[in-house]
């Protein structure tokens, strides 16, 4: 079963992180909603964080993982929030299991196909040879040869940890993920539809959800509404956490 961090008691609220992320990325949101009467489950997806690692990796498998998690924890009428890769997983899960969904929130991703665009990140992460026992500073310097943006590197290096061999390692399985990189951008099949209310929330500086995408999104999510978080890009929950939280809270509280 998927690993999770759980905060609070009350209505079930599941959060699915994005590609190369983990549950820790959502600790702030979890601790904000927990006192408001929610039991927040921040999941590590397969091949990420502390969850199991497997060569098999696609959206249907990840959706099935979430379903198994809900079944084993007796979760129903859930609020489901997914960001990026987690958002595409949440869309598929909601379309296949609408009876389990109370509220659906998709953060900065659409159902359309996205061309591969993580090549430099993958190359940078694969360039790290942990058998040479690099320090965190060494890892950052290696990855910086491929990824110039400091914020992106800091996000990735949050997954560093000391393993049983007293060596640094990434919690995500970059080998398995790199071999399945084409899966990340795959389209949500056109026949998949979700007829309940859903909030799509994008970053003002992000290009993942364009104005030109809205009509196509409405074909699969006819009751969608769209909000834009100002002064934020793809990591909108970290770049403008106040507005992001307020949009979520308002949508969740709507009748």
Q: Which domains does the chain have, with CATH numbers?
A: 4-114+187-253 (3.40.50.1820), 119-179 (no CATH)
**Residue 61, both tokens:** 């498998």
The DSSP line for 155-224 is: HHHTTEEE-TTS-EEESS-HHHHHHTHHHHTPPPPTT----S-EEEEEETT--SS-GGGHHHHHHH-TTE
Cα four-point dihedral sign 9, 15, 21, 22: positive
- Catalytic residue list: 84, 234
Which residue's entry shows tokens 């909603």? 33
Phi and psi at 61, nearest 5°, equal -65, -45
Q: What is the pLDDT of residue 230?
A: 98
Extract the tokens encoding 192: 């998949």
Residue owning tokens 């996000």? 155
- Residue for token pair 């990434």: 170
Cα gap 244→201, rounded to integer Å: 8
Bridge-based pairing of strands 101-107 and 160-162 is unpaired
pTM score, whole prediction: 0.96
Structure confidence at residue 254 (pLDDT): 87
- Residue 16: beta bridge partners? 43, 82
pLDDT at 255: 67
Q: What is the pLDDT of residue 82?
A: 98
pLDDT at 116: 85
Query: Among residues 193, 21, 32, 1, which one has the least CA distance to residue 13?
Result: 32
Local confidence pLDDT in tens for the 255 residues of the chain: 999 999 999 999 999 999 999 999 999 999 999 999 999 999 999 999 999 999 999 999 999 999 999 999 999 999 999 999 999 999 999 999 999 999 999 999 999 999 988 899 999 999 999 999 999 999 999 999 999 988 889 999 999 999 988 899 999 999 999 999 999 999 999 999 999 999 999 999 999 999 999 999 999 999 999 999 999 999 999 999 999 999 999 999 986
């Amino acid at each position: 079963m998927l690993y999770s961090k759980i905060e609070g008691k009350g209505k079930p609220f599941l959060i699915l992180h994005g590609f190369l992320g983990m549950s820790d990325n959502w600790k702030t949101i979890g601790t904000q909603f927990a006192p408001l009467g929610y039991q927040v489950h921040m999941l590590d997806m397969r091949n990420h964080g502390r969850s199991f690692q497997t060569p098999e990796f696609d959206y249907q498998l990840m959706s099935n993982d979430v379903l198994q998690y809900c079944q084993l924890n007796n979760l129903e009428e859930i609020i489901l929030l997914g960001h990026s890769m987690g958002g595409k997983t949440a869309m598929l899960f909601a379309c296949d299991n609408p009876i389990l969904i109370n509220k659906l929130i998709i953060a900065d991703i659409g159902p359309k196909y996205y061309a591969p665009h993580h090549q430099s990140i993958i190359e940078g992460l694969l360039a790290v040879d942990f058998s040479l026992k690099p320090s965190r500073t060494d890892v950052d310097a290696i990855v910086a040869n491929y990824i110039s943006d400091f914020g992106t590197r800091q996000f990735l290096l949050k997954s560093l940890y000391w393993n049983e061999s007293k060596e640094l390692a990434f919690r995500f399985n970059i080998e398995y993920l790199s071999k399945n990189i084409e899966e990340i951008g795959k389209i949500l099949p056109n026949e998949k539809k979700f007829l309940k209310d859903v909030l799509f929330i994008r970053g003002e500086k992000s290009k993942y959800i364009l104005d030109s995408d809205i009509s196509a999104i409405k074909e699969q999510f006819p009751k969608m509404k769209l909000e834009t978080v100002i002064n934020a890009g793809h990591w909108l929950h970290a770049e403008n956490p106040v507005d992001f939280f307020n949009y979520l809270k308002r949508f969740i509280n709507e009748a």
